[in-house]
Amino acid sequence: MKNVLITGGSGGIGSAIAEEFAQSGYNVIIHSFHNKQGANMLARRLCTEYQITALAVQADVSDRSSVNNMYDIIDTMFGSVDILVNNAGIAQQKLFTDITENDWKNMMGVNLDGTFNCTQEVLKRYMLKSHSGVILNISSMWGQVGASCEVHYSASKAAIIGLTKALAKEVGLSGIRVNCICPGVVMTDMMKGFDSLTIRELKEETPLNALGTPNDIAQAAVFLCSEKSKFITGQVLGVNGGFII
């Protein structure tokens, strides 16, 4: 049975990805930083419902020593990580001229440095030695085209796309695949700051005339990490209802 680590695994998209993997028979490691209780509750439920092994772990992905401590715990419980889903991320809306140095550092620290820290460590500890593994990065459609008033967010997500493509070329001969999903407008807690009019307008702008759900992302994630996609690497999949084409 393969082991999958999902960073930001207690959030809307992360928890859906964790459940989809559990339902598909994977052992699941659910990372969180601020929501330890939610991660623990999710892990217990997945163990009970799907008869797999699930573990909640806590770490600040922007801090390398915290990430290393997280992997030490995983070593003790599981011994290896076969699949890494880099889903942990933050967002913020601000005019570019209002973005502070701290805003910029926090955004890059979680979204980009977090992906770097978790990915480099999983490669060194497990995947390069076993000559196998899958890394899936969660970016955003705004990483593809940019979003007004979200310059730092868009920049961090665009960097993840570049990381995905470059790393896929570097580790392909080691039997490791690296892909990226760019979600569109997905109804999670991140959408709570938008009023009903804005949400309706976003729906109308989407060719499928619908907004995404966490399960839409989760099903794509499990596919890209499964043997069904064994000849797919370095790719960026937009799951956005046609919002970005």
Active-site residue, selected from the candidate residues 26, 50, 71, 153: 153
Handedness of CA 177, 49, 8, 53 (dihedral sign): negative
DSSP the chain: --EEEETTTTSHHHHHHHHHHHHTT-EEEEEESS-HHHHHHHHHHHHHHH---EEEEE--TTSHHHHHHHHHHHHHHTS--SEEEE---------GGG--HHHHHHHIIIIIIHHHHHHHHHIIIIIHHHT-EEEEEE--HHHHH--TT-HHHHHHHHHHHHHHHHHHHHHGGGTEEEEEEEE-SB-SGGGGGS-HHHHHHHHHHSTTS--B-HHHHHHHHHHHHSGGGTT--S-EEEESTTS--
Q: Is 26 a catalytic residue?
A: no
How far are the Cα atoms of 136, 138, 169, 191 from residue 220, in angstroms, in the given order? 11, 11, 22, 21
**HSE on the CB side for 74, CA within 13 Å?**
30
State the catalytic residues. 153
